Structure 1
Amino acid sequence: MDSSSSCAQSPALPAIKQIRRMLCMETEELMGHVDDFSEFVKELNDYSWRLNKKESFFLDCVLRFQKGLVADASFISTVEDVEYCHKEVVDVVFNQTELVKETMCVHEEILALCFNEEEKVNGRIEVLQKELKPLLKRKIALQDEIHNDVTKLVARRHSLVRHQDKQKKLGEDLHQIMANSEAAKKCKHALEDMHHEAVEAAK
């Protein structure tokens, strides 16, 4: 630029100061103030016919920069937003993947325990099956014995019925025998009496 006295006399000085102030920002920050920057550049450009050589060169530089900001700031911002969103999605997917891996590890451990328990159960089943074989044989033998005993019991029940019938008949016969026995006793007493009388008469 020219000397401070010439700058002070320039009507474009306020716009130049504002542009200089904004140029102190970081590029990324400045991309968020494109409209303000463009307004100051437009104001400076309105004085282009009154600028000296150094100011004109400064105007050319900021015009190129302003056009670049206008043309690319939105694109850059969009790309960065997409990149940020993509990174967020990648992080989420990564975390979900790690969680799934951890869950799979837990399930694999549980599955291993289940397989181990299944082997123990299978071993126990084999032992029980070996123990079961003689028990099944014993059961069959017991069933045969039970069948034979039931057959014998039924036969004895039939025999009991026959004996009970005989007892009933014998009871009936006994009643008649008792009656006959009583009559026989009376006859015997009578004979004894007659025998005694005959003996007495023979004396």
Structure 2
Amino acid sequence: MSATGSSFECGQSPVSPVIKRLYCMLCIDTEELMENFDDFSKFMKELNDYALRLNKEEKRFLDSVLRLQKALTSDASFVIVVENVKECHIEVSEAVNNQIEIVKETMEVQEEILGICFNEEKRVDDRLEFLQKEVKPLLKRKKALQGEFQDNVTKLISRRRFLVDLPEKQKELGEDMKPIDASMEKAKRCRKALEEMHHDAVTVAKKLGSPVVE
């Protein structure tokens, strides 16, 4: 490659500019070269057009880059596709692995929640058992109170009905009281007259000297 390097520097060969451009492309890494394959092929066509005018070193360079071009043509797309698939597969695998870890973490959290729920359920069951023991006498008392309530309601209804009848009875008694009141006035006059006659009789008896029992 010393002759090629010399031609790059001196620029004596008419093909030197093309070789120089190809040389610059060869200085990039293989990945970038595969991505810029179209430009590389364009420069290769220009170099191949000078094939009959190349010196020995330039022909060796041409043969070398032709082999590279052929390999790139046949294998570059395959390599790129496989590497892309590999990269995609790795990304998907990493995503799945991350998802697995996340699911495991959420499962652990869920298991903790289930444990808390089981413990809480046990406490609730114990509390219910205790309350059921407390409820039994209360239910018995409630049943007794319901019986008393029913009896008292029955008595209240009976008294209410009786109360409804009392005003009418009271009215009847009021009507009956009118003649009694009239007779009472007459009785008062009679009593007063009797008392006066009694008093007069006592007075007369005293005047006669008859003993009077006080």
TM-score, length basis structure 1? 0.68
Q: State the Cα distance separating 1:97 from its structure 2 match.
A: 3.9
Identical columns (%): 50
Select 1:77's aligned residue among 76, 80, 85.
80
DSSP 3-state at the match of 2:106 = helix
Q: Structure 1 pair 153/68, CA: closer, same or farther in 2 (3 Å)?
A: closer
Match of 2:194 in 1: 187
Q: Map of 1:4-153 to 2, 5 A cutoff?
A: 11-52=14-55, 55-149=58-152
Residue ranges of structure 1 left out of the alignment (5+ in a row): none
| Amino acid in structure 1 at the alignment position of 2:194 | C
How far off is 1:140 after superposition? Answer: 1.7
Secondary structure of the structure 1 residue equivalent to 2:28: coil
Structure 1 152/31 Cα, relative in aligned 2: closer, same or farther at 3 Å? closer
Q: CA RMSD in A?
A: 4.1
Alignment CA distance shift 1:113-1:85 (3 Å): same
Count of residues paired in the alignment: 198
**Amino acid of the structure 2 residue aligned with 1:122:** D
What is the CA–CA distance in structure 2 between the aligned matches of 1:197 and 1:3, rounded to whole Å?
191
Q: Is the CA contact 2:3–2:57 (under 8 Å) kept in the aligned structure 1?
A: no
In the aligned structure 1, how far is the partner of 2:36 from the partner of 2:153? 109
Cα deviation for residue 64 of structure 1 reads 1.7
Task: Rate the CA distance shift 1:18–1:153 in 2: closer, same or farther, 3 A.
Answer: closer
Structure 2, unaligned runs of 5 or more: none
Distance 2:197 2:2 in 1: 189
**2:120 counterpart SS class:** helix
Superposition deviation, residue 51 in structure 1: 4.0
